[in-house]
Structure 1
Amino acid sequence: MYKKILLPTDGSEHANKAAEQAIWVAKQSGAELMVINVIETSSLVGLPAEDLIVRIREMLKEEGQKSLEKISDMVAASKVEDPCQKDVKLTLDIKEGSPSDVIVKTVKEEGIDLVIMGTSGKHGLDRFLLGSVTENVVRSASCPVLVVH
C-alpha cells in the first residue's frame, strides 16, 4: 500500500502523537519511515551578529536532533512491544528553510506516498498572521496527508 511515509516533527506533543500513527502505519504496510525536522532560518537573517546566528542555528539543530532521537526511540520501543511486527526502515534528517516548502519539496524529491503530521495547535491571530504549516502542506502536497490532532 504505502512504500514511503514522511513524518515531519518539531518535537511537540502533536508531532509525537502523529509519530505513533506513522510508526503503526509503517509497520502495517512495510513502508520506510522518513522523519524530518525543519529549522526555520528566515527569522535569523535580520540579526546583526554573524556569531549569534551561528549559535542560534546550532541550538536549533541540537533541538531538532533531540526530536529525531525521540522518534527513533519510539520506533525501537514499538519493536520491543511487538517483536513479531515488521521492522521499520527509518531515515532521519534535519533540513533548513520554510517548513511547509521543505516538506512539500521532500514529498516530490523522495517519492513520498503519505505524509503524517500533527496539527500545529495555533489558533486565532497566530494562525492568521503566521499561517499553518499543516494547512499549507495539506493544500500543496501531491500525496495524501494524514493530520493527527
Structure 2
Amino acid sequence: MYKKILLPTDGSEYANKAAKHAIWLARLNGAELIALNVIETSSLVGLPAEDLIVRIKEMLKEEGRKSLEKISDILKESKIEDECQKEVKLTLSTKEGSPSDIIINTVKEEGVDLIVMGTSGKHGLDRFLLGSVTENVVRSSQCPVLVVH
C-alpha cells in the first residue's frame, strides 16, 4: 500500500517511538523509509555575531546527525530482533528551513505517500496534544499522517 514513508525526526522520545512504527510499516509494505531532520535557522536571523550563528548552526547540524544516527540504530535493533523481516531501504536527509514547510515540500519532491511523526518534539512545549510542527503538517499534508504519542 505504501511505497515511500517519511519520518521527520528531531531525536525526541516521540520521534524515536514514531521511528519504530515507521520501520514496522516500511517492512510490512516493502516501502522505502526517508528519515528527515530539519535544522530550523529562522531563530538565528538577526543575531549580532556571524561567528556565533556559524557555531550554533554547527551544533544544530551535529544534533541532527545524532538524531538520524539514532534512526539507523533503531532499524538495526529491529532487524536483530527478527531476522526474517524484509530489508528496509533507509535514506537519511538533513535540510535547513521551517520544519513544517520542509516536511510538506519533501512529500511533494519525493512522492511520499505516508508521514509518520511524533506528537511533539524536544524543542517545543507539549501544546495540548500536538506540537506546532506536527499540527501544521497534519493540516497541510496532501498524504496521510500517522501521529505517534
Same fold (TM over 0.5): yes
- Which runs of structure 2 are paired with 1:14-93 in the superposition (5 Å)? 14-93=14-93
* Number of equivalenced pairs: 144
**Alignment partner of 1:123 is 2:117:** no
The Cα shift of 1:86 comes to 0.3
**Partners of 2:115 and 2:19 in 1: how far apart?**
11
CA distance in 2, matches of 1:42, 1:92: 22
The amino acid that maps onto 1:103 is I
- Partner secondary structure for residue 46 of structure 1: coil
Distance, in Å, in 2 between the alignment partners of 1:81 and 1:89 is: 18
CA distance in 2, matches of 1:96, 1:141: 19
Q: TM-score, normalised by structure 1?
A: 0.94
TM (norm. structure 2) is: 0.94
The unaligned stretches of length 5 or more in structure 2 are none
AA at the equivalent of 1:140: S
- The percent of aligned pairs where both chains have the same amino acid is 76
Where structure 1 has 5 or more consecutive residues not aligned to the other structure, the ranges are: none
Q: 1:98: which partner in 2? A: 98
Larger helix share, 1 or 2? 1
**Amino acid in the other structure paired with 2:127:** H
Distance 1:107 1:57 in 2: 25
Query: 2: CA distance between counterparts of 1:75 and 1:136?
Result: 27
- The alpha-carbon deviation at position 46 of structure 1 amounts to 1.1
Matched letter for residue 76 of structure 2: A
Give 1:77 deviation, angstroms: 1.0
- CA shift, 1:16, in A, is 0.5
Letter in 2 for 1:64: G
Instruction: Please state how far the C-alpha of 1:123 moved relative to its aligned partner.
Output: 1.9
> How far does residue 89 in structure 1 lie from its aligned partner after superposition?
0.1
Shift of 1:59: 0.3
Read off the aligned partner of 1:132 and give its amino acid letter: S
